[in-house]
Each structure stands twice: as C-alpha cells, then as structure tokens.
C-alpha cells in the first residue's frame, strides 16, 4: 500500500516536472531566449525563513546577472516531497531543492554525523561548522556521481517533541506514543531511544496524520510547527531540544557546471548572503513564532533534559564509526569549544 502510494506520488511529480520542463527548457535548467530559470523545490510555506531567503536570492541573482539566471522557489511541496524532489534534481527535471540532512544520509552515510543529536550545541555553532569549506568540502561534493552538488547548509533550528495527548517530561512519557519521524535511520533510532514508537512519513502528511490519530506526535522546530499549523492539532510542545537540525540546498551538478564562470561566481556570492540572511531571520522568526504559539493556546513545558540526553548518548557510538564520520564529528565538536 505504502509503496504503491509513493510510486504514484513520484509518478505524478515526475509528470509535473516534465510538463514544467516542456514549457521551460531542457535538463540544464529551463531556458528562455535570454535567461535560465532554476526551479527550486521547497516543502515549506511562503512565510518560512527558507522561502524568504531563497526568494530574495532569486531576486538578487537575477539583478546581478541582468536576467541571465533566475531562481524560482516552488513552496509547499508543489514539486514533490523531499524524497521525490532529490530524485528530480538528480535526474535534472528540477534544478534545485532544499532537503533535510536526513534525505542525504540515505545517499551517503557520512551525512549521518550532522543529523545526530549532541553534535551541534546551537544554531551559531552549527552554522560555523557547516559553512567551513575545510570541514565540509569533500562531503558536499561527494554526491556528484549522482549529479548532485550540495551548495551548503541552512539551519532547521532546535527541534522538540509535540503531541496530541499531554505534556512529556521524561522518556517514559513517550512510551506507546507514535511519533512521526523523517525517513532516516538516525531519526528512527533517535525516537526509539527517547522512548517513543517512530513512524516515518513525509512532512506534508503530518497534519492529517495528527488530526486523524494515525500518529500521536512529531518533532520539529517552532517555526515549522506553526507554519504547518501542527499547533492546531497537537497542542503540547515539550522543550526536549534534542536536536539542532540541518537542511541543505542541492543543485544539479550539470546545471551548476554549465554556468559561465562569471555567473557562477555571482551565484555563489549571493548564496553566501542568503545563508547569512536565513540565519538572522531564523533567530528572530523563532522568537516571534514562540510568542504567537503562546498566545494561541500551545502548552509549552520544560522537560527532564538530562534524562533525554543520557538516553540519546549511545547514538554517537552507533553512527560515528567510519574514519570520515569521526573526522567530521571531531571537527564539529572542536568548533564548539
């Protein structure tokens, strides 16, 4: 059942991408007589910091290249959920996407390190690591055999558990609760260790699953909890702060390499600016989201953070096993001190 449904989704997404590409151009980006449009797949709303920063990137790139390059952000999973979107970028039907690190760990296990709890202490720490070429250079080019280049990271902020039943204080409170996770080994194991029963599912399906009782809870940052309206159907948000999550922006490698040297330099420069803008927006929008949530009935509670921390410790030994993973982990931790 599940398989046939996801095939159907992938099929319709591919058909949509083909239709888009038929109106726009070929596999090196949809071209027009005087410019090339890079379509970017995003699973967030137009009010989310990632949409705002990437839409601004599009405006600035277009201005700076006098229309030779455009970036068009398609919000709300219109080009598919992340699992489909990454395939579409890889095969060149779509040029760019924002995907969670959890998707990239399915393509190269080395990405798992940055998806683990207790690797990043804060958004600032995370961004100093993922923006450092010396640490991430090889990792970001490791998917080029799949025609994917990682431009860099955008923070997902601090993630916590929320649910429909009541406040969670300790791992024991999650016993028997079905908690939605992203499609990733690390996430499955993480929720198991935190005491819940993990249920993998695409982001866009979570609202209905919470509403219908298919799941009892999920975990995310306050911005996504609010912009996806999950607060309407799961009002208990418990500050487990278990993970500083990470998104990546990926681009089709052929498309990237086909840019003129000048336009690529402009694009890269504007990308750096977009990352800075995103991080700043992230911090201010998180505060605003928190206030709005408090005012509209979300019940926040603090938890026994030490109990969750101890429960999650085994994850590091379980996933930091290869030499590359160890190097990435050590570099991340060294930057925290």
CA dist 225 and 236 (Å) reads 11
Distance CA 180, CA 199 (A): 5
Determine if 187 is a binding residue for ligand GCU (CB under 6 A): no
Q: Which is nearer to ligand GCU, 90 or 224 (CB)?
A: 224
Token digits for 208? 């209905």
Q: Is the Cβ–Cβ distance between 199 and 181 less than 8 Å?
A: yes
The yes or no reply on residue 279 touching ligand GCU (CB under 6 A) is no
Q: Are 103 and 83 in contact (CB under 8 A)?
A: yes
82 binds ligand GCU (CB under 6 A): yes
Establish if 247 lies at the interface with ligand GCU (CB under 6 A): yes
Tell me, by CB under 6 A, how many residues bind ligand GCU: 9
The yes or no reply on residue 158 touching ligand GCU (CB under 6 A) is no
Residue 132 CB, shortest distance to ligand GCU, in Å, is 21
Which residue spans within the chain are E strands per DSSP? 30-32, 35-41, 69-74, 96-100, 148-163, 178-181, 197-200, 217-220, 236-252, 299-302
For the bound state, the minimum distance from the C-beta of residue 91 to ligand GCU, rounded and expressed in Å, comes to 21
Site residues for ligand GCU, window 190-229 (CB under 6 A)?
203, 220, 224
Residue 287-316 contact track with ligand GCU, rule CB under 6 A, x = bound: ------------------------------
How far is the C-alpha of 147 from the C-alpha of 251, rounded, in Å?
8
Rounded CA-CA distance 263/287 in Å is: 36
Both structure tokens of 127: 């961004």
Name the residue nearer to ligand GCU (CB basis): 98 or 315: 98
Q: Is residue 149 close enough to count as binding ligand GCU by CB under 6 A?
A: no
Judged by CB under 6 A, does residue 156 bind ligand GCU? Answer: yes
Binding region for ligand GCU (CB under 6 A): 43, 82, 100, 156, 182, 203, 220, 224, 247
């Amino acid at each position: 059942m599940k398989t046939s449904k996801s095939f159907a989704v992938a099929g319709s997404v591919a058909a949509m991408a083909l239709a888009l590409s038929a109106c726009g151009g070929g596999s090196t980006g949809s071209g027009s007589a005087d410019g090339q449009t890079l379509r970017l797949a995003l699973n967030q709303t137009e009010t989310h910091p990632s949409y705002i920063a990437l839409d601004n990137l599009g405006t600035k790139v277009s201005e700076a290249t006098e229309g030779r390059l455009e970036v068009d952000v398609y919000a709300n999973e219109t080009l598919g959920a992340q699992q489909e979107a990454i395939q579409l970028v890889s095969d060149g039907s779509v040029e760019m996407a924002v995907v969670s690190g959890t998707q990239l760990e399915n393509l190269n296990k080395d990405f798992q390190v940055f998806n683990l709890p207790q690797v990043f202490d804060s958004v600032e720490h995370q961004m100093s690591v993922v923006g450092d070429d010396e640490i991430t250079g090889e990792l970001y080019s490791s998917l080029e055999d799949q025609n994917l280049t990682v431009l860099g990271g955008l923070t997902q902020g601090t993630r916590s558990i929320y649910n429909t039943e009541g406040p969670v204080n300790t791992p024991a409170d999650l016993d028997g609760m079905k908690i939605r996770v992203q499609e990733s080994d690390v996430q499955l194991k993480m929720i198991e260790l935190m005491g819940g029963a993990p249920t993998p599912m695409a982001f866009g399906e979570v609202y209905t699953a919470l509403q219908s009782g298919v799941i009892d809870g999920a975990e995310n940052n306050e911005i996504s909890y609010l912009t996806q309206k999950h607060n309407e159907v799961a009002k208990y948000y418990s500050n487990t702060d278990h993970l500083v999550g990470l998104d990546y922006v990926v681009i089709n490698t052929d498309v990237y390499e086909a840019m003129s040297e000048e336009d690529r330099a402009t694009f890269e420069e504007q990308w750096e600016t977009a990352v800075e803008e995103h991080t700043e927006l992230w911090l201010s929008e998180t505060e605003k989201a928190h206030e709005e949530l408090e005012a509209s009935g979300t019940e926040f509670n603090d938890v026994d953070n030490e109990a969750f921390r101890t429960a999650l410790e085994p994850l590091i030994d379980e996933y930091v096993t290869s030499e590359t993973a160890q190097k990435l982990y050590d570099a991340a931790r060294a930057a925290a001190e």
